[in-house]
Amino acid sequence: MVENAVENVTPIRVALLGAGTVGSATARLIVEQQEELAQRIGRPLELVGVACLDPSEVNVPWIDKSLLTTDTAGLCTKADIVIELIGGTTAAYTFVMKAIESGASVVTANKALIAKYGPEIYAAAEAHHVDFYFEAAVAGAIPIVRPLRESMVGDKITSIMGIVNGTTNYILDEMTTKGLDFDVALKDAQAKGYAEADPTGDIEGEDAANKAAIMSSLAFHTDVRIDDVAVEGITQITADDIAAATAENKVIKLLAVCENTEAGISTRVYPALIPNEHPLASVHGSFNAVFVKAEAADDLMFYGRGAGGAPTASAVVGDVVTEARHITHGCVGPVIPMYANLPKAPLGVGKSAFAVRFVIHDKPGVLAAIAEEFAKRGLSINGVNQDLKPTLHEPGYSGELQQLRLVTHLCEESTLREAVEAVKQLDFTTDEVTILRVLD
């Protein structure tokens, strides 16, 4: 028989803002695991209210109708822990700050909020002696925030490279394994619930950029915001790019990359070619993975479900339990100091090898002219591949088009992009260009 671990019967009041997919899954875990969670905390949790825009639309059996309210601001002042799951930045920031100023600790999954206002919220929580937890904001159920925030604070992190958006990973994986075009893979992702009706935030890299900003701030103890992140999406990736990668025993992944470089903190999101032997190459479907390098710990990899109602709710409730334990014992967790104030690398600075695909007119002298533009800027070409595509057409040109793929040696990105723009001005090239970094 297990001894009852509940030492204090006074409940810890929990307010939930948002009853959507993640919010309702969070409420379910809190309600259905109430006794188990009380044993783990030492006090019971009491869900005192659920804020939503339209209570009539919330119809799940584990949320008592009497708890539903549209008075979100009022609910923020009536709890010990406020869970913010409404999304967005403006209203969410107002409610989170109101909760903190009212003496409540806050748990959120809102990556956009943290990427825009994180340091202000960290400072407010410290000033009011409450906690702010957000494990679910990066990579869903995968525990990556707490390792960066607490477990690795005795080490020096040098870089983070991760697949942190399940939608784009699913699309690229389907293109790789089934030979689908981008548009077909996107529609499939939407049909299976892996992509929103408006997938812009995912496929243009914005979602991953928010997460990259958070990871960079935590890893390097420096204020990194969403505007500090250079972002490229996957909309220009074609089936031909995928085929070329496969032929070279590589895969294309959308990566969030955070590095402490000589030029400063570099935080970027971009599609890249990675070899099949790299640990991130084996991350399939909608799964996420984050690869961390540190001076003492060396290489670490975190892998799992990066999105979805239940996985994300698992991370949210984990933070709620952690905070409830702090309240039970009359303490708060560690603060998030932004003490380093390291410089940020200019967005166009950084070296890499690149694979560049041009669509060109099929006639003599084209390759020489392109090579000349690269040579003018000191860019060394490592490999060339030409592939005739008779099905491609360009208005005003009756001849056939070819795809020309160049792979460079290591070079400055700004110089590479300057050369690409020069080539695009030549009268035998089209506007269709794909630029991919090549990672060893």
**CATH code, 220:** 3.30.360.10
Specify the pLDDT at position 164: 97
Specify the pLDDT at position 437: 95
Are residues 118 and 234 both part of a single domain? no
For residues 24 and 309, is the Cβ–Cβ distance under 8 A? yes
Cα dist from 278 to 237, 243, 249, 318, whole Å: 20, 18, 11, 31
| Tokens linked to 244 | 């070329």
Residue 309 labelled as part of a binding site = no
Specify the pLDDT at position 14: 98
Q: Which residue has the tokens 């923020």?
A: 76
Residue 57 labelled as part of a binding site = no
Are residues 149 and 280 both part of a single domain? yes
Are residues 249 and 133 both part of a single domain? no
Specify the pLDDT at position 1: 36
Please count the other Cβ atoms lying within 10 Å of the Cβ belonging to residue 351: 14
Q: Which of 111-125, 339-353, 404-418 has the least mean pLDDT?
A: 339-353
Q: How far is CA 249 from the centre of its chain?
A: 26
Are residues 212 and 285 both part of a single domain? yes
pLDDT of 318 higher than 80? yes
Residues sharing a CB contact under 8 Å with residue 204, sequence separation 6 or more, in sequence order: 231, 233, 235
Please count the other Cβ atoms lying within 10 Å of the Cβ belonging to residue 126: 17
Specify the pLDDT at position 333: 94
Which one of 328, 362, 388 terminates a domain? Answer: 328
Specify the pLDDT at position 409: 96
What is this structure's pTM? 0.92
Average pLDDT over residues 3-13: 79
pLDDT of 33 higher than 60? yes
CA–CA distance, 388 with 426 (Å, rounded to integer): 19
Please count the other Cβ atoms lying within 10 Å of the Cβ belonging to residue 74: 13
Q: Give the residue, 360 or 234, on which the prediction is more confident.
A: 234
Domain-embedded: residue 128: yes
pLDDT of 88 higher than 70? yes
Average pLDDT over residues 54-69: 95
Please count the other Cβ atoms lying within 10 Å of the Cβ belonging to residue 399: 11
Residue 23 labelled as part of a binding site = yes
Are residues 402 and 293 both part of a single domain? no
Specify the pLDDT at position 394: 65
pLDDT of 115 higher than 90? yes
Are residues 314 and 379 both part of a single domain? no
Are residues 70 and 178 both part of a single domain? no
Residue 399 labelled as part of a binding site = no
Are residues 177 and 59 both part of a single domain? no
28 phi/psi in degrees, rounded to 5: -60, -45
Q: Residue 384 is part of which domain span?
A: 351-438
CA–CA distance, 135 with 215 (Å, rounded to integer): 11
Average pLDDT over residues 47-62: 95
Residue 292 labelled as part of a binding site = no
Active site residues: 211
Average pLDDT over residues 318-322: 98
Domains: count for the chain: 3
* pLDDT level of residue 403 (50, 70, 90 thresholds): confident
Residue 19 labelled as part of a binding site = yes
| H or E stretch covering 133 | strand 132-133
* pLDDT level of residue 163 (50, 70, 90 thresholds): very high
Are residues 150 and 275 both part of a single domain? yes
396 phi/psi in degrees, rounded to 5: 90, -5
Domain-embedded: residue 223: yes
Specify the pLDDT at position 348: 72
| Tokens linked to 191 | 């049909």
Across the chain, mean pLDDT equals: 93
Residue 383 labelled as part of a binding site = no
* pLDDT level of residue 2 (50, 70, 90 thresholds): very low
Report for 152-166, 341-355, 380-394: range of highest mean pLDDT: 152-166
Report for 223-232, 361-370, 398-407: range of highest mean pLDDT: 223-232
- At position 242, the amino acid (one-letter code) is I
pLDDT of 308 higher than 90? no
Are residues 204 and 283 both part of a single domain? yes
CA–CA distance, 291 with 219 (Å, rounded to integer): 13
pLDDT, tens digit (0-9, with 9 covering 90-100), for 270-298: 999 999 999 999 999 999 999 999 999 99
Average pLDDT over residues 258-279: 95
CATH number reported for the structural domain that contains residue 421 in this entry: 3.30.70.260
- What is the arrangement of strands in the sheet containing 45-51, beginning at the earlier edge strand? 68-69, 45-51, 12-17, 81-84, 105-108, 132-133
Are residues 323 and 256 both part of a single domain? no
Average pLDDT over residues 38-42: 96
Average pLDDT over residues 156-179: 96
CA–CA distance, 371 with 435 (Å, rounded to integer): 16
Specify the pLDDT at position 386: 78
Specify the pLDDT at position 334: 93
Are residues 253 and 313 both part of a single domain? no
